[in-house]
Amino acid sequence: MSDCIFCKIASREMPSTIVDESEKLITIKDINPQAPTHLLIIPKEHFPTILECTDKTLLGDMLTTANRLAEEQGFAQKGFRTVINTNEEGGQIVRHLHMPLLAGRPLSGKMG
């Protein structure tokens, strides 16, 4: 997808702060953080939403990555939130599957 910002970030065409990378995923800092930690776990492959995601192991990999980063970055026990916003009423703005990972403050009410 040539005009997709997350595809461009994954291919390094666009700059971002990368905090983790694996074969299928890249994790970056959100440009407009809503919590002290606000990461975006992004598949390198372009799926517009979770509905089109044909790679089911990828979804498990995204959650496993969130767990690992929570442990590594030291907020696992205090707590964190993962969400996947889908389509308009789900609050999805960027049409490339991604999973926000928020931590560092009480998150009641804020859904990503």
63 binds, among Zn ion, ligand 5GP, none (CB under 5 to 8 A by kind): none
Residue 5 binds ligand 5GP, judged by CB under 6 A:
yes
Residue 85 binds ligand 5GP, judged by CB under 6 A:
yes
As a 3-state breakdown, the chain gives helix, strand, coil percent values, each rounded to 5, of 25, 20, 50
Q: Which residues pair with 38 in a beta bridge?
A: 102
Contacting ligand 5GP (CB under 6 A), which of 2, 51, 88, 93?
93
Which part of the chain contacts ligand 5GP (CB under 6 A), choosing from 22-30, 49-57, 63-71, 72-80? 22-30
Residue 18 binds ligand 5GP, judged by CB under 6 A:
no
| CB contact set of 40 (below 8 Å; sequence gap of 6+) | 6, 27, 28, 29, 30, 98, 99, 100, 101
Query: Is 98 part of the annotated catalytic residue set?
Result: yes
Interaction residues for Zn ion, span 83-112 (CB under 5 A): 96
Cβ–Cβ < 8 Å for 7, 97: no
Residue 4 binds Zn ion, judged by CB under 5 A:
yes
Residues acting as catalytic residues? 98
